[in-house]
Amino acid sequence: MNKALVTGGAGFIGSNVSRLLLENGCEVAVFDDLSTGYLENLSELDVEFINGDVRDVNQLSRAMQGADVVFHLAASVGNLRSIEDPVSDAQVNVIGTINLLEAARRFEVRKIVYSSSAAIFGELKRLPIGEDHPAEPDSPYGVSKLAAEKNCLAYSRLYDVEIVCLRYFNVYGINQRYDVYGNVIPIFASRLLRGEPLTIYDDGEQTRDFVNALDVARANLLAAKADGVSGAFNIASGHSISINYLANIMQEVSGRQVGIEYAPPRKGEVRHSQADISSASRLLGYAPETDLAQGLQAYVGWLKGIG
């Protein structure tokens, strides 16, 4: 891998991917409109930054030139955001991905690693979730990520390009800032640092499979290096915990006991989630390395440092 283009590379996961690529001797160009990304995430990284929107074909085509691998992380993220604005969600996630696929085909990109989501599955029929689990998304976000993923896999069959779709479960880690639409971990961490009670929707016994951004970045690199491999893979820890347990462990690692408040369930949220990561392990060599408690402690420390 000589040159990589990382769309959404100023974002939380994208910046972790960009850093790992640089550490592995790759030249990196970051393409981001900064709608949810931050230039501060790239401040210590020697990357070429291109301010652009995946909905703009011309901008994307210019950025694609010279890249032999593309990591496509640019997206409108989140179930609640998509419910409030499904049109924008589809324009970015579906049309933006088709724009990227066409540009990559035009410039003969060798490999694309697409960031998909466990949101494609919807309410679960069985656990753990294998790649063959029925895909019946419960939100426009899940629908748009599934549509984009299907387009990627179709392109890999029709054209001379390898495409790996990585279905992320609940990702957390350094460079993830507070967003009311986002992951529960930055929301909890922000409230902890302000000394406010943690709000849990529903009874807190719903479960999630949390994976650190460092492990996700490693999965992206492994996918890019997996010659001859196309397809969709779950990327997670392979273990699930309840939100009640998460609230307790976050209070413990932060050293702050703020208490818990409960609220009614939210629309578009699944009850349980746990990934089967055996396919990614077998075909990509993926294995999560970050201990949850240590990862949470590092994240809370980082968030405190920027606050």
Q: What is the CATH number of the domain that holds 161?
A: 3.40.50.720
- The pLDDT profile of the chain, 307 residues, written as one tens digit per residue, is 889 999 999 999 999 999 999 999 999 999 999 999 999 999 999 999 999 999 999 999 999 999 999 999 999 988 888 999 999 999 999 999 999 999 999 999 999 999 999 999 988 899 999 999 999 999 999 999 999 999 999 999 999 999 999 999 999 999 999 875 568 999 999 999 999 999 999 999 999 999 999 999 999 999 999 999 999 999 999 999 999 999 999 999 999 999 999 999 987 788 999 999 999 999 999 999 999 999 999 999 999 998 6
Residue type, 173: G
Locate 233 and state its tokens.
Answer: 């893979």
Give the other-Cβ count within 10 Å of 195's Cβ.
9
Domain count, the chain: 1
Token look-up 């040159």 returns: 3
Q: Is 204 part of any domain?
A: no
183 occurs within a structural domain:
no
- Residue 182 has a pLDDT of 67
Bridge partner list, 172 = 212
How many other β-carbons are positioned within 10 Å of the β-carbon of residue 160? 10
> Looking at the domain assignment, is residue 15 inside a domain?
yes
The answer to whether the peptide bond before residue 86 is cis (omega within 30 degrees of 0) is no
Half-sphere exposure (Cβ direction) of 168: Cα atoms closer than 13 Å = 25
Is residue 258 a part of any domain in this protein?
A: no
pLDDT of residue 123: 84
Q: Is residue 246 part of a domain?
A: no
Q: What was the pLDDT predicted at 178?
A: 82
| pLDDT at site 1 | 81
Count of beta carbons in the 10 Å neighbourhood of residue 273: 22
Instruction: Look up the domain containing 43 and give its range.
Output: 3-171+211-238+275-289
- Give the residue numbers annotated as catalytic, written as ranges: 141
